[in-house]
């Protein structure tokens, strides 16, 4: 991974560094991180999620603590994604078993 575009940002009098984390070949965005220069606390924005950079800035302006509703929404979103992925994995496993069965029948 590579850290790119460090940019100083001051929010409520606190210095933060906004950085972009990319893959080594620069083809993929891994995350956008906001680092508190005093404490080293890192807030990460991972692409393909419903949070935007502006959401992070607003969060920092409110003192850096997400609202409980926001956390609950994120938990529910992750649980739904996990359920969906488990379903997809089960379908793939079933297809794999069918292919193995077909292979054994042709021997």
Residue 83 has pLDDT above 70, yes or no: yes
Structurally, the chain folds into a number of domains equal to: 2
What average pLDDT is seen over the chain? 79
46/61 same-domain check: yes
pLDDT of residue 55: 66
Give the mean pLDDT of 34-41.
86
pLDDT-based confidence at residue 85 (cuts at 50, 70, 90): very high
Q: Tell me: do 21 and 47 sit in the same domain.
A: yes
Between CA 45 and CA 30 the distance in angstroms is 9
Q: Could you tell me if 78 and 60 lie in one domain? A: no
Residue 56 has pLDDT above 70, yes or no: no
The mean per-residue pLDDT over the stretch 70-79 comes to: 76
Question: In what side-by-side order are the strands of the sheet with 29-36?
Answer: 2-11, 14-22, 29-36, 42-45
Q: What does pTM read for this prediction?
A: 0.44
- Identify whether residues 58 and 83 lie together within a single domain: no
Question: Residue 1 in contact with residue 20, Cβ under 8 Å?
Answer: no
Answer yes or no: do 79 and 54 share one domain: no
Look at the chain and count its residues. 107
Q: Encoding tokens for residue 24?
A: 């080594």
């Amino acid at each position: 991974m590579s850290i790119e575009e460090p940019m100083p940002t001051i929010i409520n009098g606190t210095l933060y560094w906004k950085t972009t984390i990319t893959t080594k070949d620069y083809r993929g965005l891994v995350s956008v991180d906001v680092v508190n220069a005093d404490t080293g606390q890192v807030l990460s924005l991972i692409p393909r999620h419903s949070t935007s950079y502006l959401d992070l800035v607003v969060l920092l302006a409110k003192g850096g603590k997400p609202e409980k509703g926001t956390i609950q929404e994120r938990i529910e979103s992750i649980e739904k994604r996990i359920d969906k992925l488990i379903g997809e994995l089960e379908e793939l496993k079933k297809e794999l078993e069918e292919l193995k069965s077909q292979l054994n029948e042709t021997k």
